[in-house]
Amino acid sequence: MADRQVTQQNILSLLGKLNDPDADLRYMSLNDLYGILSSPQSSFITNDHRSSQGLADGLLKALDDQHGDVQNQALKCLGPLSLRLPVDLLTALLEKLTNLTASQTIDTSVPNTALRTIVDTLPRPQAGQPAPPNVVTAYSAVSKVLIPRLTGATQSASGRRGSVVRGMLEKDPSKGFSSDAIDVLIKVVTCFGPLLKESELAALQDPVMAIIHNDTAGTVVTKRALTAISALVLYFSDNQLNSFVDRLTQTLSSQSITTIHRRHLIAAIGTIARTAPAKFGPHLNSLAPFVFEAAGEGDVTKVN
């Protein structure tokens, strides 16, 4: 009990120093917090709402620090903290971070990196084994908050009628598509793919393919979208994969398809074939003619 009280006092003291004007002191405080969060002595935090809330709020504030080293140390702390937070505070933290990805005033790569850090740290399912309770709890938080924000617009937390927050993968009028958001999706699929529901896979597929279908998407974003769709295909059911291939075939058969659009779809076929050859192989007979046809058309098959 005494050790717990000492740790609580240390945490409160270190959180207070995050407001110090000296960036070096803020950095060292986060470094000490990381040491505490990574050690068994912080296990009580799961049942200590005050400490959990204070840590989550303190690290969120530190993510907006003007000094990069302080930001990076705050990001580092989010991993072990996410393992200690009770599910309601983990859900709240994910929600706040996803809202920050829609900000027009901050570097949105920071909250996106924070989301990837958390998802990568959370317990994940193991192939061929039933998911234990801690994995199910982690997945439930990701499923409740993060997947809906990746798949489309959601109701704003402000509660104002008609107020919505743009989906993380939607095109921003001023910034375009976010490759950082696509990386978050890739991390979600990589870590929790075996638990994703068919409806979630279908919903995640739509914004990714919207980017691949978009002639104005930049090269970096398109390549990340290709990686994302190849990750998703690994978990498609047979029916989902059949429908996906049918849509690819219909689009490639269209007379109105642009050269850039066709190039993106040919690249998608190649990427998926390399990533999931056993799963995608049976469908290559129906798709190969489009690839061979494109191969004879100069720059169609070139990926910049």
pLDDT tens-digit series, residues 75-134: 999 999 999 999 999 999 999 999 999 887 778 899 999 999 999 999 999 988 899 999
Kindly report the backbone phi and psi dihedral angles of residue 172, in degrees, each rounded to the nearest multiple of 5, phi listed first: -80, 130
Instruction: Look at residues 271, 260, 256, 269 and name the one whose alpha carbon lies nearest to residue 304.
Output: 260
Local confidence pLDDT in tens for the 304 residues of the chain: 558 888 999 999 999 999 999 999 999 999 999 999 999 989 999 999 999 999 999 999 999 999 999 999 999 999 999 999 999 999 999 999 999 998 877 788 999 999 999 999 999 999 888 999 999 999 999 999 999 999 976 655 545 555 577 789 999 888 899 999 999 999 999 999 999 999 999 999 999 999 999 998 999 999 999 999 999 999 999 999 999 999 999 999 988 899 899 999 999 999 999 998 998 889 988 898 888 887 765 444 444 4
Determine the Cα–Cα distance for residues 276 and 285; give it in Å rounded to an integer: 15
Tokens, residue 161: 């009628």
Distance CA(41)–CA(20), nearest Å, equals 26
DSSP 131: P
DSSP H helices in the chain: 2-16, 23-37, 49-62, 68-84, 87-100, 109-121, 133-141, 147-151, 179-192, 198-213, 219-233, 238-253, 259-275, 277-280, 284-295
For the chain, how many residues are written?
Answer: 304
Cα gap 5→175, rounded to integer Å: 47
Tell me phi and psi for residue 83, to 5 degrees.
Answer: -80, -20
Q: Please, what are the domains in the chain?
A: 163-304 (1.25.10)
The first and second tokens of residue 62, run together, are: 């530190």
- In sequence order, the 6+-apart residues with CB closer than 8 A to the CB of 105 are none
